[in-house]
Structures are given as structure tokens and as C-alpha cells.
Amino acid sequence: MRGRDVVVLGATGFLGRHIADAFEAAGDRVLRVSRSAPPGAAGRRAALDLAAATTGELAAFLAAHRPDVVVNAAGTVWQADERRMRELNDAFVRRLVAALSQLPWPVRLVQLGSVHEYGPAPAGVPLTEDREPAPTGTYGRTKLSGTRWVLGAAREGLDAVVVRVANACGPGAPPESLLGKVAVELARQADRRDPAGELRLSPLRARRDFVDVRDVADAVVAAAGADRGAASGRIVNVGRGEAVPVRRLVDRMVTLSGLPVRLVEQEAPDGTRAAPEWQQTDIALAGRLLSWRPRRELDESLRDLLAAV
């Protein structure tokens, strides 16, 4: 059976890189699309400024490459202002689904959503896909807008699935993320050989659902091939289904590093205390629709994150 033609948008990002690799490992032909094509990078690549591309330009680009599957891993969260988040997480998705709807052949869209679309949840309550979303931050609100564009297009006939991702971790995690920041700082302290180093972070009171980025990639590949009648127009949670204390993960990273680093939690300068945060996805639907469940333990994710820095 021939492999599929797959276009991965946002292919140089943390999630996009691993997703493209997973499709290639499955035998598919992958076109990696990003704002600029890195010189000398392996694989098929194309440069396209997604935030600036019109619906017509997106449709023409897709028509030229004739994909069977489009994965939208483009978006922004770290160090981005509200305008940029709205451009990529919201407005771009609206133009993308309009462009896909113009194509004369069927294409499966896999849209990457975020657990932050749900908003705060009571402690001990797993997040199910039918939960009414109430995001409080700009990122969650703009990602939810993107999800709604996709679901609206699916009701009009577009073949589309939203994979709502928990907190992805593992090799290549952005240094702006909590675990990515910890990995970078531990690497710096190892280089300095500081026998009395400190790792200063904001209070680590949250319990969050973390999932290995490679497990996320496997779920996206599964979503690309899921039965249309069962999966199209659905939101599917992808996480580990566990609310893990963030402090435990940071302590484990310090232990794995082998460094005598002291962790110091600092309150905000104004004395305000962040409320404890609970986040746990219900991943039963991913098992039923995608035959997927996470395979990698978080210890493996943390080890590989440290090794990749």
C-alpha cells in the first residue's frame, strides 16, 4: 500500500518536528512547511508565511502539492503577544479550513488543539471532550477559536479531527516552557561545574497532565488514519490521563542530572500567591477512536529532554 502525501504546517516547531518524523517513520511522504526552510535540512521542505498567506494562496499551495493529510501544528504560545496569537491560532485556521474546502479531492485535516482550551477545572475532575470550555488566558481562547473554525467546517463536510494536546514534554522542549527551562539551566550549571548551584523557579504548586511529544506524534498519525464516520468532527484528548505534581518532575530532573543543585521556589515580588492548578485529561476516547494510548513513561521523557540540551 502506498504511503500518504502529508503536509505538516509548522514543521520546525516542537510538536511539528516530531509529527513529521512520525509520519515518515510510518512510510508516508511528508512535506515540512514553515515560515523559512532551514538551509541544508533533510527531507522535503517548503517555505510559506502562514500568518500572511491568504485563503487563495493557501488553496493554491495545497493544490500544487495534493496532500491526502494536512496537519496544522502551526501556532504560537511562548513569548507571543495577543495579536500574534490571534493571527496564527485563530485567523489562520479560519483561512486554512476555507482553503481546504475549495479542494476538489478529500483531505483529512488534523488540527492540534490544546488542553488550555478547557480553562480551570476542579481538583480531581478529569477533563472530558464534552466539557464546556471556559479558557481564561489569551492562548486558550485563541486556540479554542481555532477549534471552533475546524468543527464548523466539519459540519459543512470537511474531514477534520481536533487532537487536543496536554502539556507535551520530551526532547527539544522549548526553553520557554517550564521543563525546557529547567533542562537548559541544569545544562548551564553542569558547564559551570558550580558545586553550590541553585535553581530558582516560581512556586510549583500545580498538578498537570504531561505527555511525551513522541506519543503526541503517534496520536496524530493515528488520527490521520482514523475512520471518517467515527472521527471526523470530533475532539480527541491526548495526554497521559494523570495529574502529576510539577514539583515532582522538576525534582526528578535535578536527580537525573546528577548535579548538587538546590531548588528554590520564589513567590511573586508583589506577594501574590498563585492558586494551585489541577489538570488531568480523560483519554478514553483516544483509545476507542484512535486505538492509541501513551507508551513512554515520563522518566524517559525527562531523560531524553536532558540529553537533547
Residue 60 contacts by C-beta under 8 Å, 6 or more apart in sequence? none
Helix or strand holding residue 236 (H, E):
strand 234-238
- CB neighbour class for 26 (10 Å; exposed up to 12, middle 13-18, buried from 19): middle
In 4-158, the DSSP E strands lie at 5-9, 29-34, 44-47, 69-72, 108-114
SS3 295: coil
SS3 219: helix
Cβ pair 15, 213 in contact under 8 A: yes
Cβ pair 140, 131 in contact under 8 A: no
Q: Which residues are known to be catalytic?
A: 139
Cβ pair 17, 42 in contact under 8 A: no
Residue that has been written with the C-alpha cell 525527562 in this structure: 302
